[in-house]
A and B are shown apart, each in its own frame.
Chain A
């Protein structure tokens, strides 16, 4: 694998949330016809989603957790391609790759390393903190390791650091939301 192939694989599972041709943020095709993104990206009840190949589908928000900053959308017709997540330990210094649409640039890849994993302040929630350049539009998109496995959902930038919600938290949220929506 190199950055190009990791990026190509991630592009397959990264979607755009769009409104009037404007890119609101990124999302991950977590399972067939299901998309995970940040709650702050999926602000409404419905959203238009577009895949890298241009296919579009309308989704609706089935679950939202504002505190966790996660949202799950049901997107009938979006199709297959499910994300491969990794919930194991991340070593500080190991490579990470982000995919998303920073400032409206579609399918942009950025590379960096794991800065630390843990809360920003004692007692806070656990973040994957990455030394990696994110911009508005990356929100909701995947952060992956050198194998291309998704380790988190990019959520915000603070003090120049990229913060991602760990895959463990995303899995728990998505599983719970899918179960209760059935």
Chain B
């Protein structure tokens, strides 16, 4: 058998297979984004592409349009879940996203279907310290409108959701396993719980003399600029506190803090090491759940 031809046919078959559960999501101006019929009646897409909460329209792989309602968002992972009457459109065939390894050939699909191919370039995103296992960095092009579409393996199984990220210049894949967990929570609890401390922070450089005096390895930390009333943070943090670490993990900028706030840690006690009036303090806090947005 001609190997190149076989590969070509396999890739085309993979596009067809994954394309059966592929939706166009009309929830922002101009270019529609993509979404995957994840479970019967539930479409997963990229949160940053869903500008409105109501009056959303989706177009199925059969070309039929339907109205959809937003049922939950996870801005941290950049996922949104919509509810729709999917009719005859089957849910996606999911692959084992734990089996995805660096170097594996993958496809990204956008509504149409349109396709892009490449390889998994790394586990985790941008920097290894933020590289929690949930995300994959992809060596492929996410064309306009691809965000929210499926990351597909060579067999045509959906192993993740792609997104260009909040900053819109990345090529990320969110593992199917993680997406599944989110959809599970939504189906079971009717909402996506989000871990929450109730602080806004900004990156700051630690002055060199202070760094040396306190024997700190890190050069930057996160300063607390806002604390929400009644939040877990209000129980111990003060505006102006410089967060150095959480449970020993350095917090060099707000993204590191966001990395700590994982949904499975809701209810857990943590120790926040802060710099306050040039002294280091240990502040015990409990990770809470973000309250529902007022409507």
Q: Which residues of A contact B (CB under 8 A)?
A: 1-3, 6, 91-95, 112-116, 129, 131, 145-147, 159-161
Inter-chain contacts of A94 with B (CB < 8 A): 8-9, 11-12
**Interface residue? B215 (CB, 8 A):** no
- A115 partner, pick from B5, B8, B114, beta carbons under 8 A: B114
Taking a contact as CB atoms under 8 Å apart, the answer to whether A2 and B4 are in contact is yes
Inter-chain contacts of A160 with B (CB < 8 A): 141, 143
Among B61-118, those with CB < 8 Å from A are: 107, 112-117
Taking a contact as CB atoms under 8 Å apart, the answer to whether A113 and B115 are in contact is yes
Inter-chain contacts of B143 with A (CB < 8 A): 115, 131, 159-161
Taking a contact as CB atoms under 8 Å apart, the answer to whether A92 and B114 are in contact is yes
Q: A94-B12, A131-B141 are in contact. Are A115 and B7 (CB under 8 A)?
A: no
Number of interface residues of B (CB under 8 A): 25
Residue of A nearest to B114 (CB): A116
Given A93-B117, A94-B11, 6 more A-B residue pairs with CB atoms under 8 Å apart are A2-B3, A92-B15, A92-B115, A113-B107, A131-B116, A131-B140
- A6 partner, pick from B4, B12, B113, B140, beta carbons under 8 A: B4
Inter-chain contacts of B13 with A (CB < 8 A): 93
A-B pairs, 4 with minimum CB distance: A93-B15, A91-B12, A146-B8, A95-B8
Taking a contact as CB atoms under 8 Å apart, the answer to whether A145 and B141 are in contact is no
Q: A91-B15, A94-B12, A115-B143 are in contact. Are A146 and B112 (CB under 8 A)?
A: no
In whole angstroms, how far apart are the Cα atoms of A114 and B12 in the complex?
A: 9
**Interface residue? B216 (CB, 8 A):** no
Inter-chain contacts of B114 with A (CB < 8 A): 92, 115-116, 129
Inter-chain contacts of A161 with B (CB < 8 A): 143
Inter-chain contacts of B7 with A (CB < 8 A): 95, 146
In whole angstroms, how far apart are the Cα atoms of A65 and B82 in the complex?
A: 48
In whole angstroms, how far apart are the Cα atoms of A171 and B12 in the complex?
A: 25
Min distance, Cβ B4 to any Cβ of chain A, angstroms: 5
Taking a contact as CB atoms under 8 Å apart, the answer to whether A113 and B4 are in contact is no
Min distance, Cβ A163 to any Cβ of chain B, angstroms: 13
For B5, B7, B14, B140, the residue with the greatest tally of chain A CB atoms inside 10 Å of its CB is: B5
What is the 8 Å Cβ interface bit string for chain B, positions 1-34, against chain A (1 contact, 0 not)? Answer: 0111101110111111001000000000000000
Min distance, Cβ A113 to any Cβ of chain B, angstroms: 5
For A3, A92, A116, A145, the residue with the greatest tally of chain B CB atoms inside 10 Å of its CB is: A92
**Interface residue? B214 (CB, 8 A):** no
Min distance, Cβ A116 to any Cβ of chain B, angstroms: 4
In whole angstroms, how far apart are the Cα atoms of A114 and B113 in the complex?
A: 11
Q: A91-B15, A95-B11, A131-B115 are in contact. Are A146 and B141 (CB under 8 A)?
A: no
Inter-chain contacts of B113 with A (CB < 8 A): 92, 116
Min distance, Cβ A115 to any Cβ of chain B, angstroms: 5
Inter-chain contacts of B116 with A (CB < 8 A): 113, 115, 131
Inter-chain contacts of A147 with B (CB < 8 A): 2, 5
Inter-chain contacts of A159 with B (CB < 8 A): 143-144
Residue of A nearest to B141 (CB): A160
Taking a contact as CB atoms under 8 Å apart, the answer to whether A93 and B12 are in contact is yes
In whole angstroms, how far apart are the Cα atoms of A137 and B141 in the complex?
A: 22
Among B190-206, those with CB < 8 Å from A are: none
Residue of B nearest to A147 (CB): B5
Q: A112-B117, A131-B141 are in contact. Are A1 and B5 (CB under 8 A)?
A: yes
- A92 partner, pick from B2, B12, B141, beta carbons under 8 A: B12
Q: A94-B8, A160-B141 are in contact. Are A1 and B2 (CB under 8 A)?
A: yes
In whole angstroms, how far apart are the Cα atoms of A94 and B15 in the complex?
A: 9
